[in-house]
Amino acid sequence: MIALVESATEGRHTGDLGNIEADDDGVATVDIKDARIQLCGAQSIVGRALVVHADEDDLGTVNSAASRKTGNAGDRLGCCVIGITQ
């Protein structure tokens, strides 16, 4: 499970929600709490994509263009667009 707190998120962009780990069966339980993400306004997540990558994000720490752009996070395993419904 991953839970973000503001002190651990300095220096990241709003959409960078950190790395999660799956168990030996490939199951991951995620509970994200984040002070930057909003449902409306400039930091709104509505209409944005959520992407799960295959590998750990190196957070741009490797000195390469790929690391700075994608964190070398690997293939996209799943994605969705966040929306609001009644």
pTM above 0.75?
Answer: no
Query: What ranges in the chain are assigned the alpha helix state H?
Result: 65-70
Closest CA to 31 of 4, 7, 12, 50: 4
What pLDDT, on the 0 to 100 scale, is given for residue 26?
A: 84
In tens, the pLDDT along 26-63 reads 888 888 777 778 888 877 889 988 888 888 888 777 87
Separation of alpha carbons 21 and 62, rounded Å = 21
SS3 call for 73: coil
Separation of alpha carbons 18 and 63, rounded Å = 19
